[in-house]
Structure 1
Amino acid sequence: MTQDARNQFRPDDHDNDHFILTTVVGSYPKPKWVDRARDLYNDPEGDFDEKAWNEAKDDACRLITDEHERAGLDVVVDGEMRRNEMVEFFAHRIDGYEFNGPVKVWGHNCFDKPSVVDEVEYDDSWLVDEYEFTTEVAERPVKVPITGPYTLASWSFNEAYADEESLAYDLADLVNEEIEKLVDAGARYIQIDEPALATTPDDHAIVGECLERIADGVPEDVYLGLHVCYGDYSRIYPEILDFPVDEFDLELANGDYDQLDVFRDPEFTANLALGVTDAHTAEVETVEEIKANIEKGLEIVPPEQLTVSPDCGLKLLPRKVAYGKMENMVTAAREVEAELDSGEIEVGSTPVSADD
């Protein structure tokens, strides 16, 4: 782990000596007109063609990227405006997948769960165009979230491979290929999303091998993160510290930080991206509440190893609420930095290298 990879995201005009990196996990509420534009595009009797649909998505990406910058985030995402669902989006772009209709997952919610019917193969880039567009319209660094191979395998029907493990490894090789293209395009902050790990924590060794394949050949100046949410972290810690990533993005606010103690022993040697606002609550936390949450993160790592973000993607929240959470989060981080500078907050943790 190198702190130089993280420090490249510190703004040149940052006011405080300390720096707590602020970002979002990925997804963000879509403007309502995006759904209307999609319906028009999918209407066989309509005249809303592909050019108009692409223009609508471009406009949404501009709008949300600007919204992230207005909130003050150090690293922005386009809110995944071009993506419909975290597995479906990628499965449509990987040879070997096919779709046979939606599957009900909970309540009235459906997921167009894909099937792997043949050996998966890389065809064309998945995210480079998205990254290049966002970078062109953004004034701040851009993070690229990618659904990880273990989740892509676990949340699909496997009709072609002897086991899910073999499928995950082949998918990891494809993710590595995509990351190479993203790196060539200039991406320096890439986040692998593996929510399925929380539901099947005994497979952490499979995820670890997937990440070894993904990280193979990735330059040191590329900051790799892993997002895991809503699970029993004691079943994957400290084993995850051996994963070849710089940062672990963990959901803890939704559980009122009941699992914080998991990361005290042994000492947390990676960078921590801590969820400090609850993505499942349609209320904007106050600055003081978020500051208290940030200080919980400082019990585990020092400021130079801490990133703050919402617990998870914000796409299910009202857009006004999502923006309020981001804006208050940035204000809280800057106030905590100033209090660290003045000595009002004392840090119990000292920087730890994974090599120590």
Structure 2
Amino acid sequence: MSTREQFRRPDHDNETFIMTTVVGSYPKPKWLHRVRDLWEDEEANFDDEDWAEATDDAARVITDEHERAGLDVLVDGEVRRNEMVEFFAHRIDGYEFNGPVKVWGHNYFDKPSVVSEVTYDENWLVDEYEFAADLTDRPVKVPITGPYTLANWSFNEAYDTEEELAYDLADLVNEEIQKLVDAGARYIQIDEPALATTPDDHAIVGECLERIAEEVHEDVYLGLHVCYGDYSRIYPEILDYPVDEYDLELANGDYEQLEVFKEHDFTGNLALGVTDVHVAEVESVAEIKENIKKGLEVVPADRLTVSPDCGLKLLPRDVAYEKMANMVRAAREVEAEIDNGEIEVARTPASAD
């Protein structure tokens, strides 16, 4: 069984399989924000056990929404995470926090500092994965912030170079992934948004991924998510990365960069953003079908995954749900049209093995 085929559900109706999933984050229930305020209030009678119960309940709600929307691969919406670097920095020895830093407009980011050698302190995501996996019979994907972004989006006060820091962090990410795999995870997504903003460092990212992938079992499906940026500055070089799937944000740019990926044979699997997470309007099934067909211009259907462009957390929750549900309906309709010969697409040649 190919690593991708393991995510096809037994009751999948069509011969063609276009995998559907989400990148990671999802709008948290409004009550969870109020609960966090209680948890962070030293005078409130609300302890860590209460907070854990609340986040478990939120994970149940969101995992159920993903399942009702029909996704092939679910995520718990990252309900326990506050921010993609801060969450992990709190769990890695060597980091400390000195207060929020203004990043744009009125938005602040609690940017951490690396003040000593980074070391693995505690499990990061294993409990989160195991809880979500117990809620459903569908596969659960685990997004994890990549080592290059963990390094690049922090103040480096301990290492001679950011590159050395990134490599040490890659070893820690590798350790966490091994524990996730032991717990049963088979779909791991490495998030490296910093790559798109510093594309000249693509070789550093590649070395980090080599360190992560070298011990990963062949049944584990590794994805790389890179949002925003000028992809022409990192493509086709990224095709050398040891990952199965490349998750790219193209809907937000109206697919202007699609041609970039036609200039060289796209040898990996493509996870294509087919709904725009920056727009609080729900695309119709017909619109999303046209976006999916753009992905078929780059890879065959058996190498195509569809998802929203990026995390959905900033959208109204009802909008996020409808975007997912319409995306799944669109994918199923495109599959049926391919099966019926209404859409002519290439198929990946069978392996000689």
Question: What's the TM-score once normalised by structure 1's chain length?
Answer: 0.97
Asked if the contact 1:269–1:354 (Cα under 8 Å) also holds between the matched residues in 2, the reply is no
Q: What whole-Å deviation, never above 9, does each CA across 1:185-210 have from its counterpart, x for those lacking one? A: 00000000000000000100000000
Q: What whole-Å deviation, never above 9, does each CA across 1:238-267 have from its counterpart, x for those lacking one? A: 100000000000000000000001111211
TM-superposed CA distance for 1:44, in Å, is 1.2
Corresponding position of 1:219: 217
Q: Distance in 2 between matches of 1:217 and 1:304?
A: 26
Corresponding position of 1:32: 30
Corresponding position of 2:244: 246
Corresponding position of 1:86: 84
Q: Distance in 1 between matches of 2:55 and 2:216?
A: 30
Corresponding position of 2:67: 69
**Secondary structure in 2 matching 1:4:** coil
Where do 5+ consecutive residues of structure 1 fail to align?
none
Corresponding position of 1:351: 348
Corresponding position of 2:42: 44
Corresponding position of 1:174: 172
Corresponding position of 2:52: 54
Corresponding position of 1:6: 4
1:132 is aligned to 2:130: yes
**Secondary structure in 1 matching 2:185:** coil
Corresponding position of 1:95: 93
Asked if the contact 1:270–1:354 (Cα under 8 Å) also holds between the matched residues in 2, the reply is no
Counterparts in 2 of 1:99-248, with a 5 A limit?
A: 99-248=97-246
TM-superposed CA distance for 1:350, in Å, is 3.7
**Secondary structure in 1 matching 2:118:** strand
Counterparts in 2 of 1:334-345, with a 5 A limit?
A: 334-345=332-343
Where do 5+ consecutive residues of structure 2 fail to align?
none
Q: What whole-Å deviation, never above 9, does each CA across 1:72-124 have from its counterpart, x for those lacking one? A: 00000000000000000000000000000000111111100000000000011
Aligned AA (1:220): E
**Secondary structure in 1 matching 2:252:** coil
TM-superposed CA distance for 1:59, in Å, is 0.2
Greater CA drift, 125-134 or 44-53: 44-53
Asked if the contact 1:21–1:307 (Cα under 8 Å) also holds between the matched residues in 2, the reply is yes
Asked if the contact 2:141–2:188 (Cα under 8 Å) also holds between the matched residues in 1, the reply is yes
TM-superposed CA distance for 1:16, in Å, is 0.5
**Secondary structure in 1 matching 2:225:** strand
Q: Distance in 2 between matches of 1:278 and 1:306?
A: 18
Q: Distance in 2 between matches of 1:193 and 1:342?
A: 36
**Secondary structure in 2 matching 1:204:** helix
Q: What whole-Å deviation, never above 9, does each CA across 1:149-175 have from its counterpart, x for those lacking one? A: 000000000000001100000000000
- Aligned pair in 2 of structure 1 residues 97, 353: CA closer, same or farther (>3 Å)? farther
TM-superposed CA distance for 1:353, in Å, is 9.1
Q: Distance in 1 between matches of 2:264 and 2:318?
A: 40
- The count of corresponding residues between Structure 1 and Structure 2 is 353
Q: Distance in 2 between matches of 1:228 and 1:44?
A: 38
RMSD across aligned positions (CA): 1.4
- Aligned pair in 2 of structure 1 residues 352, 17: CA closer, same or farther (>3 Å)? closer
Greater CA drift, 312-321 or 43-52: 43-52
Corresponding position of 1:329: 327
Asked if the contact 1:269–1:352 (Cα under 8 Å) also holds between the matched residues in 2, the reply is no
Asked if the contact 2:302–2:347 (Cα under 8 Å) also holds between the matched residues in 1, the reply is no
Aligned-residue sequence identity (percent) comes to 78
